[in-house]
Amino acid sequence: MKMNVKLNQVFETLSKKKTALATLAVLFTFPLVTPSRYYMVLLAEVFIWALLAMSYDLVLGYTGLVSFGHAALFGIGAYVSALLLRMNFPFLPAIFAAVLFGAILGLTMGIFSLRVSAIYYALVTLAFAEVIFAIFNKWVELSGGETGLSVPRPDFLRSTPFLIFALAISVAIISILCITAVRDLAKKGVHARNKIVYSVLMIGFLVLLVCTGPSKLHLISEGPMKDRVITISIMNIYYFLALMPLVLCYLVADRIVNSPMGRIFVAIRENEERAKMLGYDVFKYRLISSTISGVFAGLAGSLYAPFALSINPANVLGSAVTINVLLYSILGGLGTLIGPMIGAGIITLLASELTRIPDIGQYWMLTLGIFYLLVILFLPYGIIVTWRLKGTTAKKTLKKLIESIKKSGRKEYAGEEGTP
């Protein structure tokens, strides 16, 4: 009986997070449904960039530390895992080593924030990243120089247990989604139209899965015998290998930013002086935030190396990585965690689609640049934040407006005080 009550609570919470659950289900079943390997590879890349963008959001979006050296964290992660894999280390220890290096580097970068403030911090971290880039770029024996370093695929990607594990997770997520949906349908007080839409979607989803899933599974299970099939299953594995850490890290990061510590991060971002006055050790929390960010960025790098198969200093340590991540974050919306991930998805997918168009494909960077300008000018807070602002109902907006008018006198005073 007690168990049952607890289970009820779990599903109650889950039913409130239907969008998240549905997104997860779609992401986890995608490899089973899609006919295209191309999109699976592309999405695996998106997940890696999304993880990196999320790690950046922790420092920039939540703690307000403008770091321009994020590429260093990512690149170190990538190089550590690449070098260890080349020495025939197993993949998991390689990932841990990369994460450790990322954390140490993140901590080091955080230490700079003690001495310098805001805009100078951006420059010092930029300098730091550039120095690391320069060292790797010149130290050819270590980094492979401009030709790059080839990275072997980790051994366990060739085995099926991991894939079966990933598939089990997919099945679990889908069943949870189904159960939640059925429970919601059985509940009273849900609008009839919603019920119909919901059930049609669920049935369609399941039918699609049942029709296409087994044929794919069949291909995978035949795996090791045929080369072509092996590559398909490796890409399947890679998709899951990128997706699972992303989901896990998102859950952890979400937990962190909603914890008391996360509130302190935001307090520091909003007003450093006040956070200090309230007795918080600003430097300590910046260090923590920077280190956590280093962990996630290092993880993203360590996943990227065996995915890309070849890395060179310019594409993992170069300032282009930092600029890209900055763009993802701003486009999606800072301080939302999910925003930068969506930004990463939009830009990566857009880039790959645009470059495929013949003739004008080579100008995609230009298109992207103009697209950014428009976003910054018209959606200065990013897609997600703007959407959330617009998403509030008219009634709420009116309420807020009235309140703000009432409070306007006080607010002005607060504004005066806030400016340094």
Q: What does the alpha-carbon distance between residue 148 and residue 200 come to, in Å, rounded to a whole number?
A: 50
351-360: long-range contacts, CB 8 A cutoff, minimum separation 24? 352/42
Q: How far is CA 327 from the centre of its chain?
A: 13
Q: Report phi then psi at 30, rounded to 5.
A: -50, -45
Name residue, tokens 């896990």: 248
Q: How far is the CB of 396 from another protein (least distance, A)?
A: 25
Span interacting with another protein, options 85-93, 159-167, 318-326, 407-415, rule CB under 8 A: 318-326
State which of residues 162, 283, 372, 387 lies at the interface with another protein (CB under 8 A).
372
Smallest distance, Å, CB 319 to another protein? Answer: 7
Q: Which is nearer to another protein, 267 or 347 (CB)?
A: 347
**380 binding another protein? (CB under 8 A):** yes
Compare residues 330 and 344 and give the one whose CB is closer to another protein.
330
Q: How far is the CB of 262 from another protein (least distance, A)?
A: 20
17 scored as a contact of another protein (CB under 8 A) = no
**In this structure, are residues 330 and 382 in contact, taking their beta carbons and an 8 Å threshold?**
yes
Q: For residues 377 and 394, which CB has a smaller minimum distance to another protein in the complex?
A: 377
Smallest distance, another protein to C-beta of residue 357, A: 15
Q: How far is it, in rounded angstroms, from Cα 298 to Cα 291?
A: 10
- Footprint of another protein on 159-188 (CB under 8 A): none
Q: Checking phi first, is residue 145 left (phi over 0); if not, alpha (psi -120 to 50) or beta?
A: left
Indicate whether 323 belongs to the interface with another protein (CB under 8 A): yes
Q: What is d(CA 18, CA 24) in angstroms, rounded to the nearest whole number?
A: 10
Which 104-163 positions form the footprint of another protein (CB under 8 A)?
115-117, 119-120, 122-124, 126-128, 130-131, 134-135, 138
- The residue among 71, 69, 56 whose CA lies nearest residue 122 is 69
CA atoms within 13 A on the CB side of 46: 21
- Per CB under 8 A, the list member of 160, 319, 352, 386 interacting with another protein is 319
- Bridge partners of residue 149, in order along the sequence: 311
User: Which residue type is seen at 133?
Assistant: F
From residue 286, how far is each of 59, 162, 269, 329 by CA, in Å? 8, 37, 10, 19
Query: Quick check: 36 binds another protein (CB under 8 A)?
Result: no
In the list 334, 342, 354, 383, the residue contacting another protein (rule: CB under 8 A) is 334
Among 72, 85, 311, 330, interactor with another protein by CB under 8 A: 330
Choose the binding region for another protein from 3-11, 207-215, 232-240, 324-332 (rule: CB under 8 A).
324-332
Number of residues that make up the chain: 420
DSSP characters over 128-187: HHHHHHHHHHH-HHHH-TTT-EE-PPPGGGGSSHHHHHHHHHHHHHHHHHHHHHHHHHHS
Number of residues that bind another protein (CB under 8 A): 34
Instruction: From residue 186, give the alpha-carbon distance in Å to each of 12, 34, 359.
Output: 13, 32, 55
From the list 165-173, 214-222, 375-383, 406-414, the region that binds another protein by CB under 8 A is 375-383
Is 212 an interacting residue with respect to another protein (CB under 8 A)? Answer: no
**For residues 55 and 357, what is the distance between their CA atoms, to the nearest angstrom?**
32
Least Cβ distance, residue 376 to another protein (angstroms)? 5
- Comparison of 261 and 376: residue with beta carbon closer to another protein: 376
Nearer residue to another protein within complex by CB, 126 or 275: 126
Which residues lie closer than 8 Å to 279 by C-beta, 6 or more apart?
A: none
Judged by CB under 8 A, which of 251, 373, 389, 414 binds another protein?
Answer: 373
Q: Please, which of residues 52-71 interact with another protein by CB under 8 A? A: 66
d(CA 289, CA 264): 10
Q: Which of 326, 341, 354, 385 binds another protein (CB under 8 A)?
A: 326
Q: Judged by CB under 8 A, does residue 366 bind another protein?
A: yes
Position 368 contacts another protein (CB under 8 A):
yes
Kindly list the distances between the CA atom of residue 275 and the CA atoms of 260, 263, 270, 272, in Å, as whole numbers in the listed order.
13, 10, 9, 5
Nearer CB in complex with another protein: 45/130: 130
Least distance in angstroms from the C-beta of 415 to another protein: 12
- At closest approach, how far in Å is the CB of 133 from another protein? 8
The residues binding another protein (CB under 8 A) are: 66, 115-117, 119-120, 122-124, 126-128, 130-131, 134-135, 138, 319, 323, 326-327, 330, 334, 363, 365-366, 368-370, 372-373, 376-377, 380
